[in-house]
Amino acid sequence: MISVSKLFQSFSISARVMVSTASVVGILLLWIIFFSVERQEMTIMAQNERTMTMMVTNVISALHTIMKAGYANIAHDFVTDIRKDKNIIDFKILRINGQEAFLDNKTVNDVNRRLGDEEFSSRDLEEVRQILDPKNPDLLWVNDNLRLLPRYIKSEGGRDLLIYLAPIINDEKCFRCHGREYRLRGVVQLTTSLTQAELDIAQTRYQALIMASAAVLFMLLLLYLMIRYSLVRPLGNVRDAMEMVAGGRLDMMIKVPGRDEISEIAKSFNTMIFKLRETYDGLHQEQDKLSTIILGALDGIVVTDGAQRVVLANPSAERMLGKDLKKIIDGGWENLIDDPEYMNAVLNRRGQEIPELVFYNNRAIKVHGATLLDEIKRPLGSAFMFRDVTEEKKLEDKLRLHAITDGLTQLYNRRFVDESLVKEVKRSQRYDHFFGFILFDVDHFKKFNDTYGHDQGDRVLQALARVMKEHFRIVDFPCRFGGEEFCVLLPDTDVTGVYIVAERFRRRVEQMEVDGLKVTVSIGIVAMPACEVNSPEELIKKADDALYEAKHKGRNQVCSATPIADGELPLDLR
């Protein structure tokens, strides 16, 4: 369902101004008319009440005069004649106890008794009518205040009625017949209809409605003409000019007709177009420069717009990615290296906690990306840069391998051992992972050098290195520790596993020959966390102690820094 605000915004500006102005003026006008009508209705009702009050007062005065003149016997006829008035619905004279007078002989008998003779004749037919309860609040109020009391009520038929209760005062001229004990001789109850007043009010409302409708229509017509010629046409000219500028015409200028606000808008528009044309020309020049730089850059560059659509890719990017421009644009920036997750991480993490080097299209490529935002953090576009570092990576790997590799045996060297032990010991301590370390050297190696020469000693070390590469797992790290000493790092291997692999290696070495010469090794092992170790140096020390123990026991055997139960070993190794 369309909201009122959205519906209002869909109107033209002239319609909105008309609706807004007409609403405000119309509400004000209706309020004035409503207030005037309400005051006039109050005046009509007050005038009607005054008229009825005057009539009641006159009736009571006439009735009082009749009674004072001693014509009480014709009072009943007087009441009957008053009831014939079209504006009077009912007229009754009540005693102070709420009973209707002139229907029985009670008053006649009281008067004759006070006068001492039969001055007034009795009625043959008597009737008692209790019109009001003796405790009726209105009756008691009139009796206490001796003043006329009007009351507006609705009849059972829904008609609005005005009822008066008017006191008949018992003054000195009445004492002879009615006595002094009561201040009132009775109460007049007169009921009048408000029909005529209601008709007058309805007529007033009808006239006010006609006047309000005519005023609103006239106001709308006047507003339409004023808005049409003073607002809509000038704004239409501005709108037409803006549409032409949006279409690419920057040579548009608007005539400035006067000195009002719309004329100021026209001046501002002309100034804006002039500045925009200057900026546009400058941007064209900068764009030409930027295009020359991007297209001639050796690094690959891919650019997107604010909607993250690829709009530019230079030849270097096409060459590195192995894709033409159309394929790059159709695939989108997420699929530049066919890995949307990585490309999203490049933008969202700004290269943090992700590798900046990827291998794609048989190349080692460094990827950088960033999104340009405006003042309110809306994306203006993104840029990605790809740098081919394949040759640098090869050289780096070669240098790295040379730095951590022993030249004679092509095993990892002591530097690699020291760096790796720091990581593995910390990992085992932090996560309680298994880690094994084997340290061994060649038995009687000095004999090989002294008897057969250093070249023969080197061939023994090289043969031993080849066996190590074949015997241990891919995930293990066989290393030359120094001289004739070697070590092996075994991640995720418990003490039993370390012992088994070390013993089998020892037996394999025992069975081999190098240039007809037999070779044996003495091995010391240590494993975490079975053996409590606090540092890499302590780990090496425990392994070296186990190696020394193996030599002390006669060489060509494996000794462990941690005791191993025979039941944990295979039968062939016990």
Catalytic (active-site) positions: 484
- DSSP SS3 for 117: coil
- What is the C-alpha separation between 51 and 150, in angstroms, rounded? 12
Amino acid at 469: K
Rg of the chain taking only CA atoms, in angstroms:
60
Q: Which two tokens stand for residue 256?
A: 């400035």
- What is the C-alpha separation between 287 and 133, in angstroms, rounded? 103
Closest CA to 52 of 202, 195, 146, 163: 163
In angstroms, what CA-CA distances link 78 with 71, 188, 342?
A: 10, 13, 112
CB 12 within 8 A of CB 226: no
Query: 177: which residues sit within 8 A by CB, 6+ positions away?
Result: 72, 111, 114, 115
- What is the C-alpha separation between 374 and 16, in angstroms, rounded? 33
- What is the C-alpha separation between 366 and 347, in angstroms, rounded? 14
The neighbouring-strand residues paired with 189 are: 92, 165
- What is the C-alpha separation between 521 and 460, in angstroms, rounded? 12
Q: What are phi and psi of 476, to 5 degrees?
A: -85, 160
- Strands, DSSP E only, in 259-404? 300-304, 310-313, 357-360, 363-373, 379-388
Place of tokens 């900026």: 279
What 8-state DSSP symbol labels residue 184? E
- What is the C-alpha separation between 198 and 192, in angstroms, rounded? 13
Q: What are phi and psi of 556, to 5 degrees?
A: 50, 50
Phi-psi sector, 134: left (phi>0), alpha (psi -120 to 50), beta: alpha
**Per-residue 3-state assignment (H helix, E strand, C coil) for 163-202:** EEEEEEECCHHHHHHHCCCCCEEEEEEEEEECHHHHHHHH
CB 372 within 8 A of CB 383: yes
Q: Which two tokens stand for residue 393?
A: 């990576």
457 burial (CB, 10 Å; 0-12 / 13-18 / 19+) is buried
